[in-house]
Structure 1
Amino acid sequence: MREYRRTLPEGAIPLLSDTVLDFLRLAGWPLLLVVTMLLGIDAGNWTRALPIVGIPLLPVLIGATLAARALRKRSGVRQYRLHRFAEANGLTYWPVSRPPRYPGMVLARPFPYEHRVHDRFLRRDGRPFDLGDYSWKRSNQRIEPTHRWGYVMIPLPTRLPHIVLDSRSNDSLWHPGLPDALDRDQRVSLEGDFDRHFTLYCPRGSERDALYLFTPDVMARFIDTASGLDVEIIDEYLLMYSPGGLVTTDPAAWEALMVTVDAVQEKVARWSRWRDATPAEETAAAGVASGARHSPRHVATRGRLTTHLHWWQIAIIAIAIIVVVLRLT
């Protein structure tokens, strides 16, 4: 175990300074507030003050939990277990690697971003896939938080239009959604009640491809084993994303993930055979006849979905403008 830890490349083990900074970034001010409140409470008022103190204490506990998790990664035990798992299942494992050059709204991070992949797995034989935990942040910005996404890449036999399946269950205060906000007029309704769990987006004329891939059996599998995954199809790649990370040492979680990956790969293989046997004119006509509503002036060019700013990005821009105006007046 110790010998394996010494073989780990630079960057595979989290730096202690980064762990401390991440904790202070999340819990620094709340911790200072808790200490100040405790010092100002009389001995006889502790019971009444506990609910008030508990509010700022929550991010402190979250920060401590994340810091403890990062410290466990420094031991090398996690990397060693993942290495043994890869050997047992015929996978190639890298504790840390340069990011792959894939398109998409998560993995295509241009300059000035620093980005890397931790715990990357690659299967080359049979049905190949690439899986790992991807992180990025702006260069030379130590205070800015690091963004983390788990991903699975499945190669496709041919180019496809841009299709996104956005999970509703993984949207939260910490991860409000995918990095790019998609225009609502590109939505396509799924069969049954699956719209309660996922939102499907595709350009006009691509509805039949999207609905053939995400049929009720595939959607049911997603809800059962991978409801927190977003899916993006772009060019020759099918990408699945999970905010915060995807790689785990839990065997049950791995089994559920592999079941989902195998189901998607089987569906892609069937889709390829179906598309080869379907005339292009019939596919396009069926997409138009599917009844999906699109605004002509917002139709994506070259099969790409159109995007806009998130509400929180608009809020940041508005606040910045207000601050500048106030300073100038």
Structure 2
Amino acid sequence: MSAPSPPPSPARRLDLTPLTAPLAEAELSAFVADSKASGKPWRVMTTGARRPGVSDVAGQLVPALVPLVGLGFFLWIGRWSLVEAVWEFTLEAPFPLNLVIVAVVALVLVAALLAVVHVIRLVASLRIPRIWWETAYRLVGFAAANDLRYGHDEQVAHPGVIFLTGQDRVAERRLTTTAGRPLEIGNYRYAVQGENDEQPQVHHWGYVAITLDRRLPHLLLDAKANNRSTFGIKTSNLPVDLAPDQRLALGGEFDEHFTLYAPDNYGRDAFGIFTPDLMALFIDRLGTYDVEIIDDTLFVYGSPFDLLAPRTYAWLQEVVATVVARTVRRTERYRDDFALLESGPDTSSTPAPSPPVAAAAAAAKQGVPDPERPVFALGGDAGSGTATNRVAEQGRRLRRRRWGPAAVLGLLVVAYWVYDTIVAPLFGLPVLPG
């Protein structure tokens, strides 16, 4: 399945210089000093896992330093004569005693070397590496050069499935448009606490959030290319278990790339949105990403993005100019018939483009980039106003899988069959009455 992509919108060119220009040491040093003095969030290195504090390092240093101090004390007392005495004793000792002495000395030296390496690593763990500062410096400069907002270790309130799981949910680094259509790209993490107070397991994602012009029913496209495989059994990489009766087959190549979930009774709406041309764009541009449409926001989920790589933004602009632009056009007149039954007629309409957007649309027709338009914008599409249409409650959220009485009864029947057929005959146990 393939379809021609919409013509790219003439958006303002990104200034990629801050991402690729040589870095002056004096500028980086000044940035580090200012970040520490002004209390910037990136002055502390965070990864999601608990970093050792001073007390933790001190507690680990003592066991490593004691043997080093002891070895240094004996060497200081005996000096070179001690080394000569051990060497002569080894040469004069009978075989295999001399080998035992060599082994003991080797073990002492190896233990001392490992202790030194451990001490160096512990001390280095308290120091923020250069790459951390360099990344923050480049992204801050990139955001300033392109009228974007840079956020670091911020709480997020998105309704998508990856944002409602675990604890310590944080957008590690994200870039957000400050004008025009709201668009956000970033890396996100959350932690799942392990059993018995073990170190929590940290999960990392890359995501894109783009505001649409209309509210749509909750749709989830689970890409099959990034599913996990356990003993040959494919399972979704998404941290959510949706009710399987919400799966919807659109047919053809699309079903080979995505598993589509739609709320009950919204199959017709999904068919109306995902026309063959739009399905082809999703396959071509987002075939390895999970996509979620919830309310008036389209989310794209994948592995963490390299926010310092120009190719990341080239991909993002292509997705906006093709997939998102076509989705906006396909849904510009969407109305939910079920919403009429809840609260009467839906009188909302597609918002008229504001003057700046109308001017951008005129520039788009002439193929001329508008220097006043924000980056990542959709040329010629509707404005960035808040969606005014409604979606019925039954279509706003997908249902999670629930283990009801029927599922529990089914498990009991399977357990009974396994015991009576396999376990009881194998171990000579009594058979349960049928």
TM bucket by the smaller chain?
0.5 to 0.7
Aligned with residue 85 of structure 1, among 134, 142, 159: 142
User: Is the CA contact (8 Å cut-off) linking 2:249 and 2:260 kept in structure 1?
Assistant: yes
Aligned to 2:46: 14
Q: Distance in 1 between the 2:304 and 2:130 partners?
A: 14
Q: Report 1 or 2 for greater relative contact order, CA contacts < 8 Å, sequence distance ≥ 6.
A: 2
- Superposed CA deviations along residues 137-195 of structure 1, whole A, max 9, x for unmatched, are 14795612101122222223343221101111112359951111222222222343121
Aligned to 2:298: 238
Aligned to 1:151: 207
- Cα 1:17–1:96 shift into 2, 3 Å: closer
Amino acid at match of 1:149: W
Q: Distance in 2 between the 1:83 and 1:271 partners?
A: 36
- What does 1:271-290 correspond to in 2, within 5 Å? 271-275=330-334, 280=337
* Structure 1 residue 3 corresponds to structure 2 residue 35: no
User: Is the CA contact (8 Å cut-off) linking 2:273 and 2:331 kept in structure 1?
Assistant: no
- Cα 1:5–1:189 shift into 2, 3 Å: farther
Aligned to 1:115: 169
Q: Distance in 2 between the 1:12 and 1:169 partners?
A: 36
Moved over 6 A (4+): none
Q: Find the residue that maps to 2:292 and give its secondary structure.
A: strand
- Cα 1:238–1:16 shift into 2, 3 Å: closer
User: Is the CA contact (8 Å cut-off) linking 2:217 and 2:263 kept in structure 1?
Assistant: yes
Q: Find the residue that maps to 1:76 and give its secondary structure.
A: helix
Aligned with residue 266 of structure 2, among 194, 206, 231: 206
Aligned to 2:181: 127
Number of residue-to-residue matches in the alignment: 242
* Structure 1 residue 265 corresponds to structure 2 residue 319: no
Aligned to 2:426: none
Q: Find the residue that maps to 1:273 and give its secondary structure.
A: coil
Structure 2, unmatched stretches of 5+, are 1-27, 53-127, 342-391, 404-410, 412-434
- Superposed CA deviations along residues 298-326 of structure 1, whole A, max 9, x for unmatched, are xx97223222279xxxxxxx9xxxxxxxx
User: Is the CA contact (8 Å cut-off) linking 1:129 and 1:155 kept in structure 2?
Assistant: yes
Q: In the TM superposition, what is the alpha-carbon distance from 1:211 to its structure 2 partner?
A: 3.1
Aligned to 2:394: 302
Q: In the TM superposition, what is the alpha-carbon distance from 1:18 to its structure 2 partner?
A: 4.7
* Structure 1 residue 188 corresponds to structure 2 residue 248: yes
Q: Distance in 1 between the 2:276 and 2:32 partners?
A: 45
Which structure has more strand as a fraction of its residues? 1
Q: Distance in 1 between the 2:132 and 2:294 partners?
A: 38
- Cα 1:225–1:271 shift into 2, 3 Å: closer
Q: What TM-score do the two structures reach when normalised by structure 2?
A: 0.48
Q: Find the residue that maps to 2:325 and give its secondary structure.
A: helix
Q: Distance in 1 between the 2:321 and 2:328 partners?
A: 11
User: Is the CA contact (8 Å cut-off) linking 1:170 and 1:228 kept in structure 2?
Assistant: yes
Identity %: 32
